[in-house]
Amino acid sequence: MDYISETEIRNIVKKVLDTTGSGSKPAYDISSPISSAGQTSGTPLKKSVAVGCDHGGYEMKTLLIQYIKELGHTAIDCGTNSKESVDYPDFALAVAEKVRSREACCGIVIDAAGIGSCIAANKVPGVRAAMCYDFATANNSREHNDANVLSLGAGLLGINQVKLIVKTWLEVPFAGGRHARRVDKITEIEKRFSKEG
């Protein structure tokens, strides 16, 4: 499979955004380079990111941990540490617990499709996991939903696409406003059905 560069992906995304003429701008300048300090346009991006996967996501996790460090963040490896078959809920839980306890400010879970790990992580109170597969879903999950765990399907995405998703997801801030009211309602639903609520 041929991969395109991150610059080419940025140019494609910019062209699509310009073509749609929706008038909305991405929450950060997609053409702005990341500095060695992990900043764009002077905005600090230092985050501690818990990363976990099952055997289907092991190779992608290894590449992403390095990429997260290149972006200036700290990566907390929650396993697995080989391609030997394991159960994805164990590693989704490990990541979600790091986020819940605030040992990590956010998390990334990876399995072959991204669905199972997303479901498992969302069972942990306080976690809002979102399965993202492109720039738009990554942007929306942060800006509108204040997602604190990103779920990726290693069998569905190429590494350049994943890098764009991860970079977007780590950089886009929660918009607040009307979206905060909606996220609060999600929290209320969680409390209603939780023993902790």
User: Rounded distance, CA 85 to CA 22, Å?
Assistant: 45
Catalytic residue check, 144? yes
Backbone angles phi, psi at 83, to 5 degrees: -90, 5
Tokens of 14: 């910019």
User: Which of 55, 73, 144, 179 is labelled catalytic?
Assistant: 144
The burial of 170, by beta-carbon neighbours within 10 Å (0-12 exposed, 13-18 middle, 19 or more buried), is given as buried
Yes or no: say if 172 and 136 are a contact pair by the CB < 8 Å rule: no
User: Helix 159-171 and helix 135-143: axis angle, to 10°?
Assistant: 20
Catalytic residues: 144
